Amino acid sequence: MKIEVITEPIDDKLAAILAQIQFNAYVTSGMRSYTQDEIFDLLSLESYTLYLAQRNFNDQSTVDGFLIEQHAADEVEVITVAIEPAHQRQKVGKALFSALIEKKRKTESVNIFLEVAKINHSAIAFYERMGFEIIGTRKGYYTIKSSLVDAIVMRKRD
């Protein structure tokens, strides 16, 4: 698997692929996924970076998952991460976050922040294994299946 870090705007075709991956990853949880246009617009902005997990199969590259982050000053925020369901629990997320953490070290960013639904216990455990700590709660941050769900705010710092 290869992680490509993309800092330039992406095309509509890649935005559509990313939107479909996120939809596939989120559909059973009831969380809202970004649209193709929203992903395209986000990645058109200079402060956003895409981490793309790719695998070659039969001489063709396939996208297994992605992470979008926004950086400002010495901080990074994970905006979204999605792994194609067929590739979940195959270290794709670990590879994406490892690439993010390595980039953070090179740019001397101090903190990485993210929010995760309080009910997403497996994601919280994963982030803790990656070195994130819980620092707070945002009440009613997510709407999942017509219910308000708190977000857990997590931070990783060196």
Main-chain dihedrals φ then ψ at residue 130, nearest 5 degrees: -85, 0
Two structure tokens written together for 53: 């997990």
**Can you list the alpha helix ranges (DSSP code H) found in 1-158?**
12-26, 36-42, 92-107, 121-129
- Catalytic, out of 127, 133, 141, 142: 127
Tell me the residue type at 91: K
Tokens of 110: 């101090």
Annotation marks residue 128 as catalytic: no
Q: Is 115 a catalytic residue?
A: yes
Say how far apart CA 91 and CA 64 lie, in whole Å.
Answer: 10
Catalytic-role residue among 115, 128, 133, 142: 115
**64, 22 Cβ separation under 8 angstroms:** no
- Just list the catalytic residues: 115, 127
